[in-house]
A = this chain, B = another copy of it.
């Protein structure tokens, strides 16, 4: 099991057909997730294309998330977390924390994505909208969105099967000013493992 340290990111190469199992070690920890075509980083998992492809805002088991070229890249194949994830919200960034009143630097998922890829010698062409695993953003009355604590329990997990050779990046969301990561607002570590 590889650790995604609390408040930080981690990226990994995943071969076509391999699965990556993302474990919510402590429960209620959101894990922002991105995937890039290993052959061409300009092709990446896209939430706005995936919603069209799957006909839902939250992927269900069997749903293939697609790239900005509308090709399957990651398929959700297991989910013991309660099935609540988010595709609507941008990853947090320095501007998000500034608007929340933070005057000093705050860890954020956007910088974590870039740092995690840099550790592999890679650079993304942009910051795609993430698949926010375990994040609970209900759409109420077909329109209103609200930040709620995750429903995922400790040790619950999702597995994603790679449909092409890809780079998958994770960030254990450092949000500690809103109940994104539970009412205690204490970001924790998460883990992942690669399965053949």
Footprint of B on A, CB under 8 Å?
Answer: 46-49, 51-52, 55-58, 68-71, 88-90, 93, 95-96, 99, 125-127, 129, 138-140, 142-146
Please give, as numbers and ranges, the residues of chain B lying within 8 Å of A126 by CB-CB distance. 125-126
Please give, as numbers and ranges, the residues of chain B lying within 8 Å of A51 by CB-CB distance. 88-89, 145
Shortest Cβ distance from A42 into chain B, in angstroms?
A: 9
The residue in A46, A56, A139 that gathers the most chain B C-beta atoms within 10 A of its C-beta is A139
Shortest Cβ distance from A59 into chain B, in angstroms?
A: 10
Please give, as numbers and ranges, the residues of chain B lying within 8 Å of A49 by CB-CB distance. 90
Report how far A36 CA is from B52 CA in the complex, Å. 24
Could you list 10 further interchain pairs (A-B, Cβ under 8 angstroms) beyond the known A58-B143, A125-B126?
A: A48-B90, A51-B145, A52-B90, A55-B144, A57-B88, A57-B145, A68-B127, A71-B95, A139-B143, A142-B142
